[in-house]
Amino acid sequence: MLVSSSSHLLILFLVSFAVSVSSVSVRRGTPLDITFDQSDETPTYLWPLPAEYTSGNEALDVDPALKLTVAGNGGGSAVLRAGFDRYRGIVFKHTGLGLGFSFMRKLRERLVSSVSAYDVDTLNITVHSDNEELQFGVDESYTLLVPKAKDSSRVTIEANTVYGALRGLETFSQLCSFDYTTKKVKIYKAPWSIQDKPRFAYRGLLLDTSRHYLPITVIKQIIESMSYAKLNVLHWHIIDEESFPLEVPTYPDLWKGSYTQWERYTVEDAYEIVNFAKMRGINVMAEVDVPGHAESWGAGYPDLWPSPSCREPLDVSKNFTFDVISGILTDIRTIFPFELFHLGGDEVNTDCWRSTPHIKEWLQNHNMTARDAYQYFVLKAQEIAVSKNWSPVNWEETFNTFPSKLHPKTIVHNWLGPGVCPKVVAKGFRCIYSNQGVWYLDHLDVPWDEVYTAEPLEGIQKASEQELVIGGEVCMWAETVDTSDVQQTIWPRAAAAAERLWSQRDSSSKNVTVTALPRLQNFRCLLNKRGVPAAPVKNFYARRAPVGPGSCYEQ
């Protein structure tokens, strides 16, 4: 075959390039020459911070053809394989692209076949349990070991469950950094030894899809970004008084309460979201808020309203109301396997019950006040949820009004302010912390450091009571949020809460400007690189764009 002179030149160039790159690959310990390098003098740029870790001062090259080897009873998990493939795509986004690079890499490997071109070529993951059930309190601990140069070419992750392995993969991905000079992925500050586990079992984000509809593609993007910060519960506030977008087969007219016929979630959509989340180690907790916040239900079934002119709370006097609630919970129980289910119970204004003649009569016949009827409604809804093997979660108003009557399995969800969880756990109930003063993301004037320094265990001294605080969540209420601004409103402040919920308190409570701010700014840049439109960390008003030109790393 005849070869043109230009082809000869191309081959010579490729050979020269391959040899030059292979000569670079044997160098180790070169620091990353940017502001946020990984030298000994810089912080550990991992978010959230691991429970225990040590590091060194070497730099390792990572093979873009990184191999996965597995061991343990759960090593063959499809969840694990999918997670490895996702993270390999993130870590090596800049390498191996295009036929040219692939050809050059293979050519270089032939030329230097007797010399290892990379320090790390294998990721070995051991998962001890083959149980892939994702429930509250699943073991998310893991150990991650990165060797010294020449000691081994294998990074190891060991976990009891596949979900612990996923958390280890996220940490591994954050250790990897692309060097634009050598065009290689490097791990700096090796060797690493990381033993990690979460401080709290429940680390949530509430997403409101009633005030503004969010397409499932956007919900998936948010779930994906949650996994980067090791959050593990999506609290899906699907419906509210403004709209009812969810399909309920037993009561098919309920979603007539959606804004339009194009802003709805089918049963298949909900399944897809739950399964997508599970593959990332994230549970989905659905919420059906009763008896208030339910005006939209009556668009399809007007009998649920006390009257056409007085539309909420739901009519407490009719068996039909509880039949509908039971039908909804029966239908969606097959979709949402998570053992926690949110029943709302907040902001119940009972004026409609007191002013509607047939409900007034019902109250009199049952010797009830409107306050009694509120308790009756909440407890009846709890009974329905418990009968379907759910642990009910209720907003704190239920506890504030009738604490001694709540079902023993109740988890009280704080939101009104501080000091609630201490009262809740003193009564023996579990608590979720979401103090609106610091963890409501729709409060745009709350800066990152107030989110970060909030403490779910504040005011709780007894170890037995501290254990009843299962964790917390940040809440993204959607009155002023839709697809156009939801992610930059969530991030990066949600990450500040994520570290508070994952990392040990003593490791993340010192001078936060020194210990946390540089790392959070770096994490925000990591989110941006992964396609998440996180806003600058120090913007006074959350989600505001930068005010002028500048580096992501100098916000």
Average pLDDT estimate for 220-234: 98
Report residue 351: phi and psi, to 5°.
Answer: -55, -40
CA-only gyration radius of the chain, Å: 27
pLDDT, tens digit, 9 for 90 and up, residues 32-82? 333 344 444 556 899 999 999 999 999 999 999 999 999 999 999 999 999
User: Which of residues 388 and 1 earns the better pLDDT score?
Assistant: 388
Q: Where are the alpha helices (DSSP H) in 112-186?
A: 162-175
Give the pLDDT of residue 25: 32
Question: How many other C-beta atoms are found inside a 10 Å radius of the C-beta of residue 73?
Answer: 12
* DSSP state at residue 106: H
| In the predicted structure, residue 103 carries a pLDDT above the cut 80 | no
Give the pLDDT of residue 198: 98
Give the pLDDT of residue 522: 97
Is 347 in the active site? yes
Amino acid at 391: S
Average pLDDT estimate for 147-168: 96
Domain covering 52-196, topology: Chitobiase; domain 2 (3.30.379)
Average pLDDT estimate for 168-191: 96
Distance CA 95, CA 100 (A): 11
User: Which of residues 90 and 540 earns the better pLDDT score?
Assistant: 90
| In the predicted structure, residue 177 carries a pLDDT above the cut 80 | yes
pLDDT, tens digit, 9 for 90 and up, residues 248-283? 999 999 999 999 999 999 999 999 999 999 999 999
β-partners of residue 69 are: 124
pLDDT, tens digit, 9 for 90 and up, residues 316-359? 999 999 999 999 999 999 999 999 999 999 999 999 999 999 99
Give the pLDDT of residue 42: 59
Cα–Cα distances in Å, from 311 out to 73, 139, 307, 327, 346?
55, 45, 6, 21, 16
Q: Tokens standing for 18?
A: 């391959």
End-to-end CA distance of the chain: 57
Distance CA 157, CA 166 (A): 10
Q: Tokens standing for 418?
A: 């501080």
Average pLDDT estimate for 106-135: 79
What dotted CATH number matches 202-291+320-345+387-506?
3.20.20.80
| In the predicted structure, residue 96 carries a pLDDT above the cut 70 | no
Q: Tokens standing for 42?
A: 């810089």
Q: What pLDDT band is residue 473 in, cutting at 50, 70 and 90?
A: very high
Give the pLDDT of residue 38: 46
Give the pLDDT of residue 107: 52
Instruction: Provide CB contacts within 8 A for 538, sequence distance 6+.
Output: 447, 448, 517, 555
| In the predicted structure, residue 120 carries a pLDDT above the cut 90 | yes
Domain with CATH 3.20.20.80 in the chain: 202-291+320-345+387-506
Give the pLDDT of residue 540: 86
Mean pLDDT, rounded, of the chain: 90
User: Choosing from 52, 133, 347, 458, which is the catalytic residue?
Assistant: 347
β-partners of residue 161 are: none
CA angle 76, 87, 201 (to 5 degrees): 75
Cα–Cα distances in Å, from 298 out to 165, 294, 356, 537?
46, 8, 16, 42
| In the predicted structure, residue 98 carries a pLDDT above the cut 70 | no
Domain with CATH 3.30.379.10 in the chain: 52-196
